[in-house]
Structure 1
């Protein structure tokens, strides 16, 4: 990803003050096992909120639950004016939420451009869609250079760019990102940080799940610490970064 991120503001989502994600009492069960228990938090426009914790803490299950990808119950899942508590997964994106899954999950047998256009499936095909494609290529020039190459031929960092770009194609106001730095070199992780900061500055709300503590604390202002499916601690990223309990128990530092 090095040398491939440029400065243009990406796909400005023109948020409104009401574009806030409000989650209350979110729980996830897999059979008889409760993976997430009564989690509550908010993410406002232009905010980047992090979720950290050990493996198995319930971080990924929380994101999947918000997208409707796993069985869930909740007192409230509200984004802007929309109640998403019972909205099916295929319709969540229509309400302005993008998703960058763990492991990227690009379509290896399709070209870069076709992968990106699939991200715009909720939008009517028109000149604006082509304009958004151009904005993604401005943000990630290497994707424009490789637009006709199969996604399976891209490096891990390039596939991560593709996954983020695909999410941007629906012009989301909120983006959920699951482990975007996984498997990347330190230099590429710095590039991911720059992208997250640019998206937040452009008005996107971001909810970031990350094992990389340094990236999380630099990209976010607020963090939740999850343990055994519950929110064990909340606070500013600066406070949690220096908290000895977080460093020892949750981050192994």
Structure 2
């Protein structure tokens, strides 16, 4: 796998700052006063069991569900009133749970849709070439319908589509879901490659081993709250985390 990726666009000094993020579905509070920061070039993980509030946290950050926060910013941009469709203009890419590729469209058209906010020109063509270099299988299958790809290939396509906008921060929701152990390893290699290119990552994962392997710091979420956080080294050594998330 090639390690060629374009560098983040213009916001390499931007940090994601989140304070008192809350999400409520009717009478149920799914996210409770979650606060954290993702520094420039940092990879941060959010781990927890099913229903812990991990996906709701990402969807709230993207503006896909109603939320409140005392601070929700990326660099100089206040995102509290920014609609989901405009997040990409602030340098934020998103790979949703379940990938959500456009099954009836070709691989190439799926990737081109990732650059919609930039228009189409020489820069986007170079970016597309870079995606094919990074993920050769996508280049080989560029004219095939996205629905014909395997789960792992669709995950590559979803990540490639997010990269087409040249983001500075990528939010990834359960990238290992439904993948074989071999493809989980491939996904880890992709995430480490993204970090090596200077991108910031916020990774939601139920697979704690993948999250620990791809990030330098993690939050542990239960019932919508951050119950502990620390470096991956610290969390790997935590007896409760080892029992609950590593099966040790």
Same fold (TM over 0.5): yes
TM-score interval for Structure 1 and Structure 2 normalised by the shorter chain: over 0.9
1:58-137 map, 5 Å:
58-137=53-132
Q: How far apart are 1:248 and its partner, in Å?
A: 2.1
Of the three residues 170, 179, 196, the one matched with 1:184 is 179
Q: Residue 117 of structure 2 aligns to a residue in which SS?
A: coil
Q: Which runs of 5+ in 1 are unaligned?
A: none
Q: How far apart are 1:188 and its partner, in Å?
A: 1.2
Give yes or no for the alignment of 1:52 onto 2:52. no
Give yes or no for the alignment of 1:7 onto 2:14. no
Q: TM-score, normalised to structure 1's length?
A: 0.95
Q: How far apart are 1:37 and its partner, in Å?
A: 0.5
Q: TM-score, normalised to structure 2's length?
A: 0.97
What do residues 68-112 of structure 1 show as CA deviations (whole Å, max 9, x unaligned)?
Answer: 001100001110110101111111111000000000000000000
Q: How far apart are 1:251 and its partner, in Å?
A: 4.8
Of the three residues 231, 235, 238, the one matched with 2:226 is 231
Q: How far apart are 1:148 and its partner, in Å?
A: 0.4
Of the three residues 22, 33, 36, the one matched with 1:38 is 33
Match of residue 151 from structure 2: 156
Q: Residue 107 of structure 1 aligns to a residue in which SS?
A: coil
Conservation of the 8 A alpha-carbon contact between 1:54 and 1:251: no
Inter-CA distance 55–144: structure 2 relative to 1 (3 Å threshold): same
Q: C-alpha separation between the residues in 1 aligned to 2:17 and 2:177?
A: 27
Q: What do you get for the CA RMSD once the two structures are aligned?
A: 1.2
Q: C-alpha separation between the residues in 2 aligned to 1:251 and 1:92?
A: 34
